[in-house]
Amino acid sequence: MDLARVRRIAVPLAAGSLAVGILAGPGEAAPVPWTAAWGASPQSPSTGFTPNWSQEGFSGQSVRQVVRVTEGGKLARIRLSNTYGTSPLHITGATIARTARGAAVEKGSVRRLTFDGRQSARIRAHGELRSDAVGMDLEKLESVTVTLFLAGTTGPATFHAQGWTDTYRAEGDHRTDTAGTAYTSRTRSWYYLSGVEVGGAEQGPYGPGAGKPGDGIVVFGDSVTDGFGSTPNTDRRYSDVLAELTGRPVVNQGIGGNLLLNDSAWYGERATARFGRDVLDQPGASTVVVLVGLNDIGFSEAAKGPNPPVTYRPAPVVTSAEIVAGYRELIAAAHDKGLEAVGATLLPLKGSDHWGPHAARVSNEVNDWIRRSGEFDAYADFDKALASPSDPDRLDPAYDHGDALHPNDAGYRVMAEEVAKVLGR
């Protein structure tokens, strides 16, 4: 492809935002297909599990974020979110580069990003924006670094709380630095960046190992999908391993603490509300794996304890019928978009703060429905795969992160293996 001949076109994205697509010129081949290669679900500013910069936002600073793409291609673009901003967000400039180590990037790899041909961008309150395409040969499973320079004062920032990867901050404009020395502060959350997409992700001229268009997988759910308990900076969430095992693009759209049926100030919009943005709007996706509902069941049990976390609100007592109704809503939405919907059984939770008589009964009823109803196109049985041989209601100690609720790296690998088997890889 002659990149000099690529023309930008403005296409609708969401609620008045614009995305930049690729249109073939006269005599050229068909338009380049875009594939979501990495993603993170936006959340409203909050304290979160660990210290972060979401509530203070940024002012005259550069923020540098490292992500691993699960597809390769000739072109790249980023997706930015101001979903929870109450005023317009001004992006002074942005770059993308190959990651070296820490906050450093490879020399010669820095590419300046533009937005409708301009280096700066304005994203309206509650809006989203995709950058223009930039020529960049990317290989599957390599890490890239996206740097945003925010010259003004942003106010509270739309972010993703649990990144499990270091993000870096520097005072002043350091978007083109290759060294990471200016980046003296760090957290493990992502800010404004909600996606990296690649163009030309197909077999043939775009390099070996590239998958076929429309073969992407979105994993959707709560903290188990998000990777809570995985080793930071090692890409050991189950979504990471799934990309390695299947060779398909995988986008992680989990939010720690997320609920299927209720919004949370701490843990994001309910799954049924964010499904369109976080799953259906992912280019190149053909399959969604749904693992959510455990917090709906377990928060009400945790609220009975002597010191219930304030974040575990709302905590209504829900029935299996209500959970099933939420699943049916997600399944219908996926099918309307032409996506295969794979259900995942809820993990064993005995011994955790989510455990109790009600949670035990409802989680079993929900899992039985997933296995027997046939309403999902297929299912991955995480409940059985990760259960203790001596007590099926409890996580196998070999897979337990330590709270009887979240897997460790070994447990996440087992989950990925289960999904890969279901998908026939």
Structural domains of the chain in order of their starting residue, each with its CATH number:
3-196 (no CATH), 214-422 (3.40.50.1110)
3-class secondary-structure state, position 27: coil
Residue 392: both structure tokens together: 């099926």
CA distance 35 to 201: 7
Percent of the chain with pLDDT over 90: 84
Whole-angstrom distance, CA of residue 314 vs CA of residue 256: 15
Quick one: pLDDT band at residue 208, thresholds 50, 70, 90?
Answer: very low
Query: For the segment 262-320, what is each residue's pLDDT rounded down to a tens digit?
Result: 999 999 999 999 999 999 999 999 999 999 999 999 999 988 877 878 889 899 999 99
Count CB atoms within 10 A of the CB of residue 254: 27
Q: Beta strands of 225-279 (E only): which ranges?
A: 250-254
Stretch 329-350: mean pLDDT, rounded? 98
The predicted structure's pLDDT at residue 202: 53
pLDDT of 128: 98
1 has pLDDT over 60: no
Question: Cα–Cα distances in Å, from 299 out to 17, 99, 260, 348, 382?
Answer: 36, 39, 12, 15, 20
Q: Do the bridges between strand 73-81 and strand 193-199 make them parallel or antiparallel, or are there none, so unpaired?
A: antiparallel
Judge whether 380 and 287 are in contact, CB under 8 Å.
no
- Give the per-residue pLDDT at 200: 81
Residue 165 pLDDT: 97
**Average pLDDT of the chain, as a whole number:** 91
Residue 30 binned pLDDT confidence (cut-offs 50, 70, 90):
low
Confidence of residue 340 (pLDDT cuts 50, 70, 90): very high
Q: Which two tokens stand for residue 99?
A: 């990651």
Cβ neighbours for 313, distance < 8 A, ≥ 6 positions apart: 264, 299, 303
pLDDT digits (tens, 9 = 90+) for 38-82: 999 999 999 877 899 999 999 999 999 999 999 999 999 999 999
More confident residue, 226 or 205: 226
Residue pLDDT, tens place only, 89-136: 999 999 999 999 999 999 999 999 999 999 999 999 999 999 999 999
Mean pLDDT calculated for residue range 148-163 = 98
